Amino acid sequence: MTQRVWRPFAFREKIPPVPGVRFDRVLHKDAEGVITLLSVKIDAPLLDRAPKLKVVSNVAVGYDNVDVPECTRRGVMVTNTPDVLTDATADLAWALLLGAARRVAEGDRYVRAGKFKKWDFYLMRGMDFAGKSLGIVGGGRIGQAVARRGRGFGMSILYTSREPKPDFEREGARRVELPELLRTSDFVSVHVPLSKATVHLIGAKELALMKPTAVFVNTARGPIVDEAALVKALKAGKIFAAGLDVYEKEPAVHPGLLKLDNVVLLPHVGSATEGARRGMVETAHRNC
């Protein structure tokens, strides 16, 4: 019996690191499976170039870069890589929560600029965590992992979700509507997927509900937050601080954010650990 040899790569060549080089120009017309990153848009024109395609294996927990209805119409399966990046992303969300609340990046810049001359009782006071409330916008795997870390700080947990999460609630979390979560939480961390329903889920109206002492963090997807509204809220002191790993028009960052000391900015590195990235690639390969 002849063994069929499967070629695991969908490319004729490695994509050159040259601005403007398009993924669909190097996609092989005979590819049956393709492993993609979230920076690659999988849409009808690309699918037209690979008529034999059977599976799109996305190396990400999200799949907003894939036109799933179009893939479904063509009988192309779409897969992602949940679970393996949960802890890494939850850790990064906490790095932002701590960094923004305790003004870590601001303090680092202050020391490097030679401004630290003596200990000062009033210098760079931040926010406490113990006994405070943590609001999780989206009660999925990552949101629950962030909440588990919050319980270690003695925090109470609120969450929003389309459906109740009984296991989550047995651990002490309480499900509320988004306005109540924003009004009552001292810390807010976003963990919903990007969809038409979640674009600008957090805008001027939502930010206005938050406490002036609140810290806001987004490690999900940039367009969930109206960046212009966030800049205004931070400048006006409507909230205390923010931490962002993702951006509305990524990789572009709203210029107003770059001028603010009360926001910590990272370059979309939520899953950027050795273990998580290796697990993502291995999962995507198995999926394909």
Q: Which two structure tokens, joined as six digits, stand for 24?
A: 């669909």
Residue 95 burial (CB count, 10 A): 19
Q: Based on the residue annotation, tell me whether 200 is a catalytic residue of this protein.
A: no
Please work out, in degrees rounded to the nearest 5, the angle formed at the alpha carbon of residue 270 by the alpha carbons of 269 and 275.
95
Please pick, among 221, 227, 248, 254, the residue that the annotation labels catalytic.
Answer: 221
- Roughly how many angstroms between the first and final C-alpha of the chain, as a whole number? 24
Catalytic residue among 28, 149, 250, 277: 250
Token duo for residue 3: 């063994």
151 included as an active-site residue: no
Chain center to CA of 147:
15
* 106 is an active site residue: no
Supply the residues annotated as catalytic.
221, 250, 268
